[in-house]
Amino acid sequence: MAERHAGWVDGVDSAEARLITGALVQADATGDALDPLRARPGIRDAPGTPGSVAIASNKLRVNPFQAVLADRARPGDGPYIVTLDAVKELPFGAAHASLSRVDLVVAEIVSGAFAVNVYVGENAANPVRPTPAGSPVLVLAEVQVPPAGTAPTVVDRRQFTSALSGILPVRGETDLPPVATTHSSQFVYRLDTGVLLCKRGGAWVPYRPPRGDTWRTPSLQNSWVNYGSGFTTAAYTLMDDGWVRLRGLVKSGVFDKPIFTLPVGYRPVAHWLLGVSTNPDAHGRVDILPTGEVMATTGNAGWLSLDGLTFSTY
């Protein structure tokens, strides 16, 4: 039927209960009409390293975690919310003398029950990943086992999820959800770069919050005045990336004295030396000090251009 039971009324079955709780999980999409039902599978991020896998004493150790398991092909079944409440140890087989293999550590639903299992791959010159038997399945790690004598490598394959409209952590670019089918309010945090991303048009781009910052007019000092005649007046602004930009054509002031002083929050952390154009035609220099002074040190005062000068505040 199209209409499913509402939450927590008589007649709710297990699939409907999963759909109800899944409504609170981050959305997922494959590009079809059932996308509104899909929940993103993955680990619920938490302090420590939930769901991470390591090799210790010839065993695989899986850290406790909570996760969402969902079958993208059957969204009407609803997602499973699962818990591993203690470290789990799994057997780890010895390496082959001359061949390699790939093992998988997974969280899965098998015959309606949650389990964390290891699937041992076939030894081969060019090994392939084994296929888990359960459904749905969330891969936690891939264990690359070279021939005996070389240490195995655990490759982290965890995918993360979050609450509905929460910030979704991802391990890197390959873990980004497809931007074409992602809802417009999705935010993503890249764990590898520390950059917060948002969906803009058809791409993931760094999120830059509106600063409400506009061009600000400074108080000119030491006989410096705006040139006028339709040219830009002295001003400064803080850009989204933390750089300050200057503009303006000024004239008639005193060199080696501040043209104006920038307020706290708009100042560099080090002394900057920037080349400028001046008139009569000569190359000039403007110094920008950590104390905020913007000072002309060389050139001519017929006019001096601040247009395009930029520096970082960090």
Q: Are 264 and 141 part of one and the same domain?
A: no
Single residue among 134, 164, 194 that ends a domain in this structure: 164
Looking at residue 289, the DSSP 8-state letter turns out to be: -
Query: What's the pLDDT tens digit per position in 145-169?
Result: 999 999 999 999 999 999 887 899 9
Query: What's the pLDDT tens digit per position in 37-88?
Result: 899 999 999 988 999 999 999 999 999 999 999 998 899 999 999 999 999 9
- What is the overall mean pLDDT for the chain? 93
Residue 195 forms part of a structural domain: no
Count of C-beta atoms within a 10 Å radius of residue 222: 15
Residue 300 forms part of a structural domain: yes
pLDDT of residue 181: 84
Q: Are 18 and 113 part of one and the same domain?
A: yes
Q: Are 109 and 232 part of one and the same domain?
A: no
Residue 212 forms part of a structural domain: no
Q: Give me the sign of the Cα torsion angle 129, 130, 135, 141.
A: negative
Count of C-beta atoms within a 10 Å radius of residue 53: 24
Let me know the angle formed at the C-alpha of 216 by 211 and 221, rounded to the nearest 5 degrees.
Answer: 145
Q: Are 95 and 233 part of one and the same domain?
A: no
Single residue among 124, 140, 164 that ends a domain in this structure: 164
Total domains in the chain come to 2
Q: Are 22 and 158 part of one and the same domain?
A: yes
Q: Are 156 and 230 part of one and the same domain?
A: no
CB 207 within 8 A of CB 197: yes
pLDDT of residue 47: 87
Question: By residue range, what is the domain housing residue 243?
Answer: 225-312
pLDDT of residue 210: 65
CB 95 within 8 A of CB 152: yes
Single residue among 139, 164, 189 that ends a domain in this structure: 164
Q: Are 160 and 237 part of one and the same domain?
A: no
pLDDT of residue 133: 92
User: Which CATH number does the domain housing residue 252 bear?
Assistant: 2.60.40.1830
Residue 66 forms part of a structural domain: yes
Residue 200 forms part of a structural domain: no
What's the rounded Cα separation, in Å, for the pair 260 and 77? 66
Would you say residue 120 has pLDDT above 60? yes
| pTM of the shown model | 0.65
Residue 82 forms part of a structural domain: yes
Query: What's the pLDDT tens digit per position in 216-270?
Result: 999 999 999 999 989 999 999 998 788 999 999 999 999 999 999 999 999 999 9
| Start-to-end Cα distance in the chain | 59
Q: Are 159 and 291 part of one and the same domain?
A: no
Residue 147 forms part of a structural domain: yes
Which of 139, 180, 187 minimizes the C-alpha distance to 163?
187
Q: Are 18 and 157 part of one and the same domain?
A: yes
Question: Average pLDDT for residues 264-281, to the nearest whole number?
Answer: 96
Query: What's the pLDDT tens digit per position in 170-222?
Result: 999 999 999 888 887 889 999 999 999 998 888 998 887 666 568 999 999 99
